[in-house]
Amino acid sequence: MQFVSRSGGPDAARAAERARRMNPPENEIPCAAALSAVLARTDDVAVGLDGATVFSTGVLLRIIVRRRRDGEPDRPEDLVALAHGGHLPPADGRQLMLGVELADGRRAAMLGDPWFRHLSEDDSLDVALVSRGAGGGGRTYDASYWLTVVPPAGDLRIVCAWPAFGIPETVTVLDAGPLAEAAACVVELWLVEPASADEYEPRPPARPVVAPGGWFEQVLGAPTSDPGPAV
């Protein structure tokens, strides 16, 4: 995530509180949920869900990528750069794209900085999917994504697309029940200390190329003449 902090302003505390919600709670011991699946695969690459860690306010999803062989001599791209879209221009079209759709219809996609549109003038915080760090190299890549709500019971749809490896929009349907069950096991250590009074002003997000008429375009909206700055 990217923040620009400045002091003052009547909405500073509210903005800081929203920013805090974009991270796992620091005052809790979470509970693990047995949730795994192959999200998409080809002959050369596979993307999978390798478990989830549940907090009271959201879920940390672990995504893994495995590649069959090293990059070809005429395709020297780095796996981490492709999987972590921030290393690419927004219009490059080679990023790994991930999204979620809850049983109640709420949706979020991890493209650019999708949390930006949730810091609106009202106090509502809808669902967002936020990158929480990643690493790897060569043929492996592991990443964590913070889902800002615990999904309700029912179907949890995870959407994956990766143009660089010929993976179209692929939907995997999972049972969200284990996540709700794990939420009951979360331990709160102490009350949350007051958030900083700084005002957090998010930078405009970069918008990568997505398939016209697909799931990701429905979530992000139609492209504009200004795709936003490269990240």
In tens, the pLDDT along 72-94 reads 655 556 777 777 665 566 556 67
> Which has the closest alpha carbon to 35: 52, 56, 54, 60?
52
The CA-atom distances, in angstroms, between 15 and each of 18, 26, 115, 121, 193 are 5, 18, 12, 10, 16
**Is residue 158 predicted with pLDDT exceeding 70?**
yes
Q: Nearest 5°: phi and psi at 115? A: -65, -15
> Which has the closest alpha carbon to 188: 52, 33, 57, 29?
29
Greater confidence (225 vs 157) lies with 157
22 exposed, middle or buried (CB, 10 Å; 0-12, 13-18, 19+)? Answer: buried
Are 21 and 125 in contact by the 8 Å Cβ rule? The answer is yes
Are 112 and 205 in contact by the 8 Å Cβ rule? The answer is yes
117 exposed, middle or buried (CB, 10 Å; 0-12, 13-18, 19+)? Answer: middle
Q: What is the pLDDT of residues 188-215, one digit of tens each?
A: 999 987 755 554 555 555 667 788 889 9
Q: How many CA atoms lie within 13 A of 146 on its CB side?
A: 20
Retrieve residue 132's tokens: 């929480």
Are 156 and 54 in contact by the 8 Å Cβ rule? The answer is no
SS3 181: helix
Structure confidence at residue 119 as a pLDDT band (50, 70, 90): very low
Q: Residue 4, Cα to own-chain centre: how many angstroms?
A: 20
